[in-house]
Homo-oligomer: A and B are copies of this chain.
């Protein structure tokens, strides 16, 4: 499938970036040729040390991306350094300017053509000029609540509604994820943080826009709600001891309406103590398809996987800012 070695630069060495680098190391036809991270604890050290491999890889982590791009030829950058397009825009610009393809875990980059229309247009133009491909992907957004539902509609003669639930037991996840969903806060602080846009799942609206766009649906109204899930009894995780009244996590829903009819509904609940984690997708149509993944797809492993599995497709793709729907779907390879 992959005939020649693909040279990879990792940009961003947080938990997802490190997990991704580990996976790239295991792939026969992928080769890490550089790594970027701006943190003082990582820049200057060998990537193997930063990864905790117990051996050096001969790849110094640098905080000067542009210098690396000038010195080192690469086929693709795997970018795991931010969620918001406004935050990462200049990083993406530099990568494109260097003539390197890029896959980013940026949640907003899944479908930037609505909320970040102008920036998306600029990225697309720059990528075409430089002959490189830019893709945003991941598991959520990127798979469970958007690409997989859309894939299922491929066997539908008609689609009336799409309903997706993703219920995650945050108690089994790493600390930053538990903090990200608001575990341990009081409901008041939670709501305060929501109003400051410090809480909420980045990309949920993009998932909705992605599905609606490809199904040819335009909404009269989009409702978004971010609420705390509050403990009724004591719950403990490796990081928190929560008592009744404490916030366990988040319920974030996005719904698209035509008139009074709810056409697409995305319901994401990530909280500690969720004892029925699952992903469900219901396509009401002809035929109706009702799918359930018990336990749900584990987020962190899966995100690293889809980034790496998408590499060959992005390297082979036409230039421009593309979506996961524009490319043949990625699959596991050895």
A residues near B (Cβ < 8 Å) are 1, 23, 139, 143, 148, 150-151, 153-159, 214-216, 285-287, 289-295, 297-298, 301-306, 308-310, 325-334
Are B309 and A287 neighbours in the complex by a CB distance under 8 Å?
A: no
Chain A binding surface SS class: mixed
Known contacts A291-B292, A298-B287, A301-B286; A215 and B332 CB within 8 A of each other = yes
A128–chain B nearest beta-carbon distance, Å: 18
Give the residue among A23, A154, A310, A328 with the most B Cβ atoms within 10 A: A154
B294 near A293: Cβ-Cβ < 8 Å:
no
Nearest CB on B from A150, distance (A)? 5
Whether A331 pairs with B153 at a CB distance below 8 angstroms is yes
Task: Say whether B290 contacts A215, CB under 8 Å.
Answer: no
What's the Cα separation between A295 and B305 when bound, in Å?
30
Decide yes or no: A332 and B156 within 8 Å by CB, A290-B295, A292-B292, A301-B287 being known contacts: yes
How far apart are A207's CB and chain B's nearest CB, in angstroms? 14
B331 near A150 (CB under 8 angstroms)? yes
How long is the Cα–Cα vector from A159 to B330 in the complex, in angstroms?
Answer: 14
Collect the chain B residues with CB atoms within 8 Å of residue A303's CB. Answer: 155
**Most B-side CB within 10 Å, residue of A150, A216, A326, A332:** A332
B154 in contact with A297 (CB, 8 Å): no
7 smallest beta-carbon distances between A and B, as pairs: A153-B332, A155-B302, A287-B298, A154-B330, A157-B305, A216-B334, A156-B332
Chain B residues contacting A157 (CB-CB under 8 Å) are: 23, 301, 304-305, 308, 332
Contact of A154 (CB < 8 Å), options: B214, B287, B329: B329
Docked-complex contact B156 and A302, CB < 8 angstroms: yes
> Across the interface, do A328 and B331 meet the contact criterion of CB distance under 8 Å?
no
The CA of A185 and the CA of B46, in the complex, are separated in Å by 70
A305 closest partner in B (C-beta): B157
Beta-carbon nearest neighbor of A310 in chain B: B154
Measured CB to CB, the closest approach of chain B to A276, in angstroms, equals 14
Q: Is the CB of B143 within 8 A of A309?
A: no
B155 touches A214 (CB 8 A): no
- Closest beta carbon of chain B to A81's beta carbon, Å: 21
**Chain B residues closer than 8 Å to A289, beta-carbon distance:** 293, 297
Q: Are A297 and B155 in contact (CB under 8 A)?
A: yes
Chain B residues with CB under 8 Å of A295's CB are 290
In the bound complex, residues from chain B placing their C-beta under 8 Å from that of A325 are 328-329, 331
CB distance from A304 to the nearest CB of B (A): 6
A332 touches B302 (CB 8 A): no
A148 to chain B, nearest CB (A): 7
Q: Contact at A333–B151, with CB atoms within 8 Å?
A: no
With a cutoff of 8 Å between Cβ atoms, the chain B residues found around residue A214 in the complex are: 1, 331, 333
